[in-house]
Structure 1
Amino acid sequence: MKFIGIDLGWQSGKSGLCCLQYSDKKLKILDLNCKLKTEDLLNWIDNLTPLSTPALIAVDAPTIIPNQTGTRLPDKLTHKYFGRYHAGCYPANLNRPFAQKTLNFGISLELKGFIHAPTIEPQQPGRFQIEVFPHPAIVNLFQLEKILKYKKGRLAERKSELGKLHQYIINILPTLEPALLISDNFLDMEKINSTIALKTTEDKLDSLICAYIGAYWWYWGQTKNLVLGNHTTGYIVVPNRLD
Structure 2
Amino acid sequence: MGIERFIGIDLAWAQGGARSKPNETGVAAIDGRGVVVDCGWTVGLEETMGWLAEATAGRSALAFVDAPLVVDNPAGQRPCEREVGQRYGRWKVSANSTNLSSPRRAGVLLRALLQESGWTYDDGRSGPPTGGKVVSECYPYTTLVGAFELGYDQERPAYKRRPARVPSAQWRAVRAEECDTLIARMAGLATADPPLLLSSHTVSRRLLDEPSPQPAADYKHREDLIDALLCAWTAALWSRHGPARCQVLGADSLLPLGSAPTIIAPARPEQTRRGAS
On the 8 A contact 1:120/1:218 being kept in 2, the answer is no
Residue in 1 that maps onto 2:39: 32
Take 1:111 and 1:164, find their aligned partners in 2: how far apart are those partners? 40
1:16 correspondence with 2:16: no
- CA spacing shift, 1:149–1:63, aligned 2, 3 Å: same
Deviations 1:59-106 (A, max 9, x none): 00000011011110000000100111111110110101112x221111
On the 8 A contact 2:176/2:212 being kept in 1, the answer is no
Unaligned runs of 5+ in 1: none
Residue in 1 that maps onto 2:82: 76
Take 2:226 and 2:116, find their aligned partners in 1: how far apart are those partners? 27
1:162 to 179, 182, 192: 179
> Which amino acid in structure 2 is aligned with residue 222 of structure 1?
P
Take 2:246 and 2:104, find their aligned partners in 1: how far apart are those partners? 27
Take 2:206 and 2:125, find their aligned partners in 1: how far apart are those partners? 33
Q: Based on CA coordinates, which of the two structures has the bigger radius of gyration?
A: 2
On the 8 A contact 1:73/1:233 being kept in 2, the answer is no
> Percent identity at matched positions?
27
Q: TM-score w.r.t. structure 2 length? A: 0.80
Q: TM-score w.r.t. structure 1 length? A: 0.90
1:239 to 246, 258, 266: 266
Give the CA deviation at 1:112.
2.4
Take 1:203 and 1:105, find their aligned partners in 2: how far apart are those partners? 17
On the 8 A contact 1:119/1:221 being kept in 2, the answer is no
On the 8 A contact 1:63/1:102 being kept in 2, the answer is yes
What SS does the aligned partner of 1:91 have?
A: coil
What SS does the aligned partner of 1:62 have?
A: coil
1:126 to 102, 122, 132: 132
Give the CA deviation at 1:186.
4.1
Residue in 2 that maps onto 1:102: 107
Give the CA deviation at 1:185.
4.3
2:198 to 178, 182, 191: 182
Give the CA deviation at 1:28.
0.5
On the 8 A contact 2:38/2:55 being kept in 1, the answer is no
What SS does the aligned partner of 1:159 have?
A: helix
Unaligned runs of 5+ in 2: 15-21, 163-170, 252-257, 271-277
Deviations 1:130-162 (A, max 9, x none): 100000111121241111111134221211111
Residue in 2 that maps onto 1:56: 62
Residue in 1 that maps onto 2:167: none
Deviations 1:37-74 (A, max 9, x none): 21111101111112x52001100000001101111000
Residue in 2 that maps onto 1:47: 54
> Which amino acid in structure 1 is aligned with residue 48 of structure 2?
L
1:67 correspondence with 2:73: yes
Give the CA deviation at 1:229.
1.1
What SS does the aligned partner of 1:146 have?
A: coil
- CA spacing shift, 1:179–1:191, aligned 2, 3 Å: closer
What SS does the aligned partner of 1:179 have?
A: coil
Take 2:269 and 2:243, find their aligned partners in 1: how far apart are those partners? 14
1:151 to 152, 155, 160: 160
Aligned length: 237
Take 2:65 and 2:226, find their aligned partners in 1: how far apart are those partners? 13
On the 8 A contact 2:71/2:100 being kept in 1, the answer is yes
What SS does the aligned partner of 2:101 have?
A: coil
